């Protein structure tokens, strides 16, 4: 069993719980023990796309973690919370409410490479301990600023005219970007405070919600429903990079981890495949030298 289950994660379910649900339903469907991993944590208060890798696809989880992602999120103005979300304690308030024009005017400040301070309630490690564990223990957590990339930021929907209590935005961001911090800083920029009231991931790397299934559909699969559209092939996680067709001799060399030269191709990451079109390996070409990055053990 190798491939992907793209789950539309419901509110309240953690990423680890989602992985457990996949394992449970695979066992119930008769697939026995399957290696399972996810391609990017999604908080219980967030919904949306969670790529879950099966078997040899788990070798691509690191690449999925590094991929850019797209989120829809709603900023609720007037209150800032300790966790910068709807569950935290209120730590600041403001009577000021921005207009749509004021929000639009500051978005350019948050597009491109930006510095942001992650939330204290995050999984970042400080002296070997998770920041959220320290924060929950009542310790003052000093988070260091870090640079991230916001590829695109736009207004998704506005909630009326005049002064707004909330606004929904869409952000396409690099790995390591905290949407809660982005919402906080946008609120500051328009002269108020705010927190994330809704967060939904709509894309992760090559995957979109179009290929996602509900938890109900996953559970139905475990109860005997057809596998169709439940498990995507491993190459579904590779469609954003070029494929490289190899001869049988070249395929054997790549599977053995040998370096190849003399193949006319562009520099960069590719996925190599043999005559049966099965993925053999992730390969990197630099100046005509082709090296294996990660091999796949997929038997016919």
Backbone angle region of 294, left / alpha / beta, with phi > 0 → left and psi within -120 to 50 → alpha: beta
Name the catalytic one among 43, 72, 85, 185: 43
Per 3-state DSSP, what percentage of the chain is helix, strand, and coil (rounded to 5)? 25, 35, 40
- Specify the DSSP class assigned to residue 85: B
* Residue 120 DSSP label: S
19 in Cβ contact with 36 (< 8 Å)? yes
> Among all chains, which residue has been given the structure tokens 């894309």?
203
Distance CA 294, CA 99 (A): 50
Name the residue with tokens 């920029």: 189
- Buried b / exposed e along 186-197 (16+ C-beta atoms within 10 A): bbebbebbbbbb
43 carries an active-site annotation: yes
Report the alpha-carbon distance of residue 278 to residue 233 in Å, rounded. Answer: 10
d(C-alpha 40, C-alpha 118), whole Å:
17
Cβ atoms 267, 242 nearer than 8 A: no
Judge contact between 298 and 292, C-beta under 8 A: no
Buried b (16+ CB within 10 A) or exposed e, 66-76: ebbbbbbbbbb
Could you list the active site residues?
43
């Amino acid at each position: 069993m190798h491939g992907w289950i793209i789950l539309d994660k419901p509110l309240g379910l953690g990423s680890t719980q989602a992985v457990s649900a996949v394992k449970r339903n695979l066992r119930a469907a008769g697939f026995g023990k399957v290696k399972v991993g996810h391609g990017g944590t999604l908080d219980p208060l967030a919904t949306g796309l969670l790529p879950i890798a099966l078997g040899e696809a788990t070798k691509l989880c690191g690449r999925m973690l590094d991929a850019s992602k797209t989120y829809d999120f709603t900023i609720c103005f007037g209150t800032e919370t300790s966790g910068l979300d709807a569950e935290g304690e209120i730590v600041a308030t403001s009577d000021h409410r921005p207009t749509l024009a004021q929000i639009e005017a500051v978005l350019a400040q948050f597009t491109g490479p930006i510095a942001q301070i992650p939330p204290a309630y995050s999984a970042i490690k400080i002296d070997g301990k998770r920041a959220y564990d320290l924060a929950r223990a009542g310790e003052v957590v000093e988070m260091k600023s870090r640079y991230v990339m916001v590829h695109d930021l736009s207004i998704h929907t506005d909630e009326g005219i005049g002064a707004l209590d909330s606004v929904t935005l869409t952000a396409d961001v690099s790995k390591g970007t905290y949407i809660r911090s982005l919402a906080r800083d946008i609120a500051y920029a328009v002269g108020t405070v705010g927190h994330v009231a809704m967060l939904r991931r709509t894309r992760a790397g090559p995957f979109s919600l179009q290929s996602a299934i509900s938890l109900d559909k996953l559970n139905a699969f475990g109860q005997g429903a057809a596998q169709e559209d439940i498990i995507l092939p491993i190459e579904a996680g590779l469609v954003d990079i070029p494929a490289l067709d190899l001869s049988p001799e070249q395929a054997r060399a790549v599977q053995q981890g040998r370096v190849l030269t003399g193949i006319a191709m562009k520099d960069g990451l590719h996925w190599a495949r043999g005559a049966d079109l099965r993925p053999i390996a992730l390969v990197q070409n630099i100046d005509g030298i082709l090296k294996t990055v990660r091999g796949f053990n997929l038997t016919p």
